[in-house]
Amino acid sequence: MNLLENILSWSTLTFLMILCAFILARKVYQFLPLFAIYCGVLLISTLVVWSVYKVSGFNSRFSYFAYWSSVLVNALARSLAIVELCRYGLRAYQGIWALIWRVLAILSIFLLTHAAVDAWGQPKRFAIYAMTLDRDLAFASIIVVVALLLLRNYYGIALEPLQRAVTLGICIICAVDVIGNTIFRNIFTGYLYSWFLTTQKALWPQLDSQVHHVNDVWSTVHLLFFMLSVGVWCVALRKPLTARQKKPVLLPSEVYRELSPAINLRLASFNTRMVELLKP
Amino acid sequence: MNNVAIIVPVVLVISVVLVRLLYPRKNSSNTADSGTQGIPVRAMIEEGLPAPKHFQYFRQIRQALSSADAEYLLRMAPKSAAKQALRERRAVAQGFLKGLHEDFSNLSKLGRVIASLSPEISHKQEAERLKLTVKFQILYAAVWMRLYTGSLPMEQLERLTGLVSRLSARMDEAMTEISAQSARNMAETLGG
């Protein structure tokens, strides 16, 4: 690790500790338990990976597996936090929740299947496999969050400020992961692929500096944006949380049964007239 | 999915959309009593729908945009002044069409708000409303283009506004009826 990476790693660890302290102080685990677990996982995995680096060295095989395993564990915890974001505040709206969870579940199944198929087709190297899976999970997360926000916007159900900050932070991490992992995956499966092949061992000394340079750049970019996300969460949690939204008082079922078909019928006849307007 | 030239712009565009969705320009409150998107649903059920705002000005606008007026202008006024006046009249008509769009949107929005506050909804109805709204947006753009190019007769616009007005009136009736029915149900429930 170079000096910049050392500074960034220390800062990340400090930010994560502050974040976990805020989560405990504001009792976030009471209403967003999976997000609280995600933050805990981030802190623990950072500490574990760092300890492994200290014990067995930054460039050891053990560190390599520890790092990529932590990437997958973090991606899994992040996915659970996103599931929680989808549920949060919408379950009280029984009618549309029944529709929204089905839409999001179908979308998630499609995207996760794509992620599995994409990762399956990668060269049999743990780093490339993990990088592809992490990238596809991050992409799936962004798509699911965008779909969720579109549906919430369509029905006019806004997110609370904390959930908004959580969503923004997660999406920053995901967007950077998708872009970074795509670029670096292409480099590692392209001209640096020899680095993973024992049959090409003779080339390793020549590639060594390039591989480390690529790793350094990716680590720096990743850590910078990761710190930005953690910073967004810390800012959202710096003040005591405002009272959460009350459960909505639902209308009697007849209102929807009576009005919805009438509205649709009228909208349809309105469109018919618009079509007539366009006839020459 | 490994092409950097595709992935990077796609993710950047999605990120912009996401930020816009997270931080929309208008702040909308959504408490149960105020309804969603700032529509006071309960008040509407009790008092009925407000009349479309723009329809009431249709007569004045139609008069201002009548073909007789246009012909008179072209005959009597200098060419540049007549052209300027016609441009302005077209702008007024476009503004009016926008107003009709607003009236339509409000009614459609009401449907969504009612859906969000209902304990059960029909997926078919929701999908249909979404489809109709998308179709309306496309048709509106097409009508707007025709108006912009000056090839939309005012009589057709009048028929359109008439439809909005009738729609609002019937919705108003339906709301009153449902309000009364809900009150009756509630009274029955409370009375045991």
In degrees and rounded to multiples of 5, residue A136 shows phi and psi of: -70, -35
Find residues 197-236 of chain A whose CB sits inside 8 Å of chain B: none
Work out the pLDDT band at A175, boundaries 50, 70, 90: very high
CB distance A136 to A117 below 8 Å: no
- A173: confidence class by pLDDT, cuts 50, 70, 90: very high
Which sequence spans correspond to the domains of chain B?
Answer: 31-191
Q: How far apart (Å, rounded) are the C-alpha atoms in residues A8 and A131? A: 21
pLDDT band per the 50, 70, 90 thresholds, residue B105: confident
Q: Which of B15, B146, B170 sits opposite A175 (nearest CB)?
A: B15
**Interface membership of B117 toward A (CB under 8 Å):** yes
What is the SS3 assignment for A58? coil
Instruction: Identify the H or E element spanning A224.
Output: helix A204-237
| Closest chain B residue to the Cα of A179, Cα to Cα | B8
Q: Tens digit of pLDDT for each residue in B140-184? A: 888 788 777 766 566 666 666 666 666 666 666 666 666 666 566
Distance from CA of B77 to the nearest CA of A (A): 31
Say what the pTM is: 0.76
Query: CB distance A158–B114 less than 8 Å?
Result: no
- Interface residue B22 vs chain A (CB under 8 A): yes
**Any CB–CB contact under 8 A between B139 and chain A?**
yes
In chain A, residues with a C-beta closer than 8 Å to the C-beta of B167 are 266, 269-270
Q: How many Å lie between the alpha carbon of B158 and the closest alpha carbon of chain A? A: 11
Task: For A101-121, write each residue's pLDDT tens digit.
Answer: 999 999 999 998 888 888 776
B34 phi, psi to nearest 5 deg = -90, -5
Q: How many helices (H) and strands (E) does chain B have?
A: 7, 0
Q: Cβ B118–A186 below 8 Å, yes or no?
A: no
Domain ranges of chain A: 3-249, 253-280
Q: What three-state secondary structure class fits B91?
A: helix
Question: How far is residue A53's CA from residue A43's CA, in Å, rounded to a whole number?
Answer: 15
- Minimal C-alpha gap between B81 and chain A (Å): 30
Distances in Å between the Cα of B79 and the Cα atoms of A263, B70, B72, B73, B102 are 47, 12, 12, 9, 35
- Tokens 């998308």, residue located: B134
Q: Is A186 on the interface with B (CB under 8 A)?
A: yes
